[in-house]
Every structure is written in C-alpha cells, then in structure tokens.
C-alpha cells in the first residue's frame, strides 16, 4: 500500500474566486463569502450565467514562449509563487530530477483557442500570437517544469472533476515506490466558453448562484482556480493519509443513484488510512448542486458516516472548478485543520425531504477536541470517484 510510508503536505498555494493566496482564501472561505460569484453575459451563446471568477491581477507571462501565455498558466503561476520558497529549499536537499509535477486540468488553454478561432472567422487566419500547443493538456505541467527549473517526472491527469484529486494519489504512489522524493501536485482550470456552454447544453447550470443540497437546487456554476501542494516524506503539521478510488461506470454523465462508487471510494480511503468513520471530523462534499449528484452523495455519506459528522459544500463560494476542484477542496480541508475552523455550508436552508439528513456546518459550528481528520470527495463523469483524507500529525 502506498501509505506504508508517512507522507506530508508541506505547503499549499491557492488562487480562486475567494482570493489570490491562502490567507485571503481562508478568511473568505470561513466567512462564507460569495463575492467571487459573478454574472457574465459573454460566456453563453445566448443568455447570462453566474460563474466563479478570479478578479485579482495575475502574473505577466509575456517573457515566456507564446504557447505558455494562457490565463490557465497565469492562475497556476499565482499559486506556485506561494510554494516557490519551499520548493527552492527542497532543491537544496534533492536533485531536480527527483521532483515530480503531477497536475489535473480539463481545459488547459482552450480559452485562448476560442479567442484565436474568433479571430480566424473574421481574418481567415489565426493570429500570430496563437500556438496550438497552448491547448494541449500537458501544457500546465510543462510550463511549471520550465519555470521551476525541475527536470523530473511531469504529467497531467484529465478525468474531469476528479483530475487534481487523483494527482495526490499518483504522487503518493510514486514517492512510496521510490521513483521521486518530492511532488508538486494540484490542478488548474480557467473559465472558457466550451465548458460553460457544454454544461448549459446538459441543462446542468444554475439560473442563479448554486444552492447545494437544497430542495430548490437547479445546477452548477462553473468556476476557475489553481491549487498546488508540496507532497513529500518531510515531516510537517498536516499528513496526507490516503486516497480512495473507484469507477462505477454507471452512466456517461449521471452518477449511480445510490452512490455505489462514492461509497467504495470513501470506504477505500478509510481503510487505506486505517481510520474509522467516526474519526473523520469534517467532509468537504463534491456538492455540485445538481439534483442527482447531491442526492446520491447524501445517500452515500449517510451510509458510511455517523450522522454527526460535519459536512459542507464549498461550491457556492468558488463554483465548480472542474480539473482544479479536487485540489482546491482538499486545500480547503488543509485550511480547516490549520485554522481549526470549518467552511460553512452556504445555501437557502430549504431541506430536500428525499435526501438523508446530514450535519451541515454552520457559522457557529465547532468540534469538541478540535478537527483531526478531514475527507474530501470528488466525483467525475463516467463514475470516476476519488476521496482523499488528510489529518493533523500526532506527535
């Protein structure tokens, strides 16, 4: 088992609609801020839609090759700069060939591809600034490898909403196998018309700001984000305990109605971590606010965990960040352990009688004895399910 050797999260870097660094994100996350959920008129072919948007000024990339000059990589660099000092410190201990970069994404630089295609429709040629490689899924990891001057293993995972959650498991397996010593893991996705219109075509987007687990829920908001973590054997305050995976392959876009794969992923994570359900202090739900996802996840969680385990969905604050969602939400768990606070569940409070009762985090919720272990769920199209567990290191 890959968790035979203790692994630790040595640091994180974040950029999402809640802020441009971990401290800003933490303050707004625990306050339940939704100021980053904005109404856009230029993403849907017809109509308006709420999205989770990063509004800070992002790093300039004009000095890089044109195939690296994407908003996706700007978000990624904003997150990386927060862990750069840590990576440089670890470079003094390990060869650059012993670092791995394992990221998740689903769009890469497709937004720049959309802009280039719009230009081509008018000018009958692509702009000189456009390079097709900007859209390749490998692009973010290649960019980060070049920027950080690392020569080790580089890969990108693209399994939709579970992409960056899977990056943690892959990295843990590689470190435990002795293939690398340090991994930069996480994910990045930026807003683009393709995903917003795609989910709209599936009738999965909300008319307003998403309302997870409410009887009035009507769909998701797409968001953008970058989240990175440094994973290694170097002991630190927060331990990466385990990751559970499953693939129920119930349907191309709909989850198993009873959450069969979700249950397996959560149970597998508990087994790998050698924990009992009652050991988990808080669960960050996948919580997309689509009718089918929220119902099946409530069924799965209620069947695996005692009903006093605190839960919340944070997608009402950042949107569904797709390939970045898994890393963003395990980072929220990291912040919860670090600050000993839980992200509140932001919704209208109207319960769905068809769903099992869960213990929703409120602004005043506290755990006697403090938070010790957190679990985060990421469930993707095709029944690709991942559950990650992290916890405080106990002396």
Q: Confirm whether 2 is domain-assigned.
A: no
* Structure confidence by residue, pLDDT tens digits, 253-278: 667 777 799 999 999 999 999 999 99
For residue 64, what are the domain limits? 7-392
| Average pLDDT for the chain | 95
Lowest-pLDDT range of 108-117, 138-147, 323-332: 108-117
Angle 156-158-160 from CA coordinates, rounded to 5°: 150
Q: How confident is the model at residue 1 (pLDDT cuts 50, 70, 90)?
A: very low
pLDDT of residue 30: 98
287: left (phi over 0), alpha (psi -120 to 50) or beta: left
In a domain, 275, yes or no: yes
Q: Is residue 248, in this structure, part of any structural domain at all?
A: yes
Residue 85 scores a pLDDT above 80: yes
Q: Which of 220, 225, 223, 224 lies closest to 202, judged by CA?
A: 220
Task: Enter the tokens of residue 176.
Answer: 């435990």
| Total number of domains constituting the chain | 1
**pLDDT (0 to 100) of residue 113:** 93
Q: Which residues are catalytic?
A: 161, 286, 320
Q: Is residue 1 in a domain? A: no
- State the CB neighbour count (10 A cutoff) for residue 349: 11
| 49 assigned to some structural domain | yes
For the record, the structure tokens of 309 come out as 């385990």
Convert the pLDDT of each residue in 212-265 to its tens digit. 999 999 999 999 999 999 999 999 999 999 999 998 876 666 677 777 999 999
- CATH number for position 338: 3.40.47.10
């Amino acid at each position: 088992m890959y968790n035979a050797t203790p692994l630790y999260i040595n640091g994180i870097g974040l950029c999402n609609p809640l802020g441009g660094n971990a401290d800003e994100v933490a303050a707004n996350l625990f306050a339940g801020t939704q100021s980053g959920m904005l109404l856009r008129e230029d993403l849907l072919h017809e109509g308006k839609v709420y999205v989770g948007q990063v509004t800070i000024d992002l790093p300039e990339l004009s000095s890089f090759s044109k195939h690296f000059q994407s908003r996706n990589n700007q978000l990624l660099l904003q997150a990386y700069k927060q862990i750069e000092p840590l990576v440089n410190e670890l470079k003094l201990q390990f060869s650059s060939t012993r670092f791995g970069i394992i990221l998740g994404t689903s769009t890469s630089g497709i937004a720049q591809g959309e802009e280039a295609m719009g230009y081509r429709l008018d000018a009958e040629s692509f702009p000189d600034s456009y390079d097709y490689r900007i859209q390749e899924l490998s692009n973010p990891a290649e960019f980060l490898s070049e920027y950080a001057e690392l020569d080790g293993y580089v890969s990108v995972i693209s399994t939709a909403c579970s992409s960056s959650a899977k990056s943690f498991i892959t990295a843990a397996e590689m470190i435990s196998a002795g293939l690398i010593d340090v991994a930069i893991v996480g994910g990045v996705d930026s807003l683009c018309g393709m995903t917003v219109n795609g989910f709209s075509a599936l009738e999965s987007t909300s008319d307003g700001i998403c309302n997870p687990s409410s009887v009035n829920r009507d769909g998701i908001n797409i968001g953008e984000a970058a989240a990175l973590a440094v994973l290694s054997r170097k002991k630190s305050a927060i331990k990466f305990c385990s990751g559970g995976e499953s693939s129920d392959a119930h349907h191309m876009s709909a989850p198993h109605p009873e959450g069969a794969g979700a249950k397996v992923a959560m149970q597998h994570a508990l087994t790998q971590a050698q924990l009992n359900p009652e050991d988990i202090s808080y669960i960050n739900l996948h919580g997309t606010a689509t009718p089918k996802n929220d119902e099946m996840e409530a069924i799965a969680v209620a069947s695996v965990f005692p009903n006093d385990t605190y839960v919340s969905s944070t997608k009402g604050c950042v949107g569904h960040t797709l390939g970045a969602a898994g890393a963003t939400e395990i980072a929220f768990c990291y912040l919860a352990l670090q600050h000993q606070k839980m992200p509140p569940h932001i919704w209208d409070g109207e319960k769905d009688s068809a769903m099992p009762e869960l213990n929703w985090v409120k602004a005043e919720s506290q755990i006697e004895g403090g938070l010790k272990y957190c679990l985060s769920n990421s469930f993707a199209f095709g029944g690709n399910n991942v559950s990650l567990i992290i916890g405080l290191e106990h002396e």
